[in-house]
Amino acid sequence: MRRNSADIVIRNKKASHDFEFIEKFIAGIKLTGTEIKSIRLGKAAVADSYCLFRDKELFIKGMHIAEYYWGNLNNHDPLRERKLLLTRRELNKIERKVKETGLTIIVIKVFINEKGLAKAEIALARGKKEYDKRETIKRKDTERELDRYIKNSG
């Protein structure tokens, strides 16, 4: 069964556990031909990726896109830095917040939009402390128990 390329979503599952999201943005990704083909096959990972500024431009570092099987000599480096495409206003806003408050820019997910273009959802994030992580887990457990109770009693 062939999947629709708009159904491809590669998530960073650790992100919401390790970070508190302050603000989210959707950015385009500048890719080569074999990279977009690999993403359409779902062969990418964003678990250890983050974003950094270089010469007033934003890049993803640590995003792994597997080599395309039929790519031969034209294949790409799986871990190369990839440029993110945002408006100048968004880039200035993100850069200012990162410098002022010491926030981190992380990749939450990479997906293919309805036009077939690869997009990345990034977030300005603050790292959670260990007690914050425990608090989040406790809150989710409580919500789950409440949902279960309401479902069974109703």
Give the tens place of pLDDT for each residue, 6-53. 677 888 888 877 888 889 999 999 988 888 888 888 888 888 888 899
| CATH 2.40.280.10 assigned to 5-128 | yes
Whether pTM exceeds 0.85: no
Convert the pLDDT of each residue in 9-20 to its tens digit.
888 888 877 888
Task: Report CA torsion sign: 24, 58, 113, 13.
Answer: negative
Helix (H, G, I), strand (E, B) or coil at 17: helix
Q: Where are the domains of the chain?
A: 5-128
Q: 24's torsion region: left (phi>0), alpha (psi -120 to 50) or beta?
A: beta
State pLDDT tens for residues 73-102.
777 777 888 999 999 999 999 888 888 887
Whether the Cβ atoms of residue 17 and residue 136 lie closer than 8 Å to each other: yes
Asked whether residue 129 carries a pLDDT value surpassing 70, the answer given is: yes
Exposure of 107 by Cβ count < 10 A (0-12 exposed, 13-18 middle, 19+ buried)?
A: buried
Structure confidence at residue 1 (pLDDT): 41
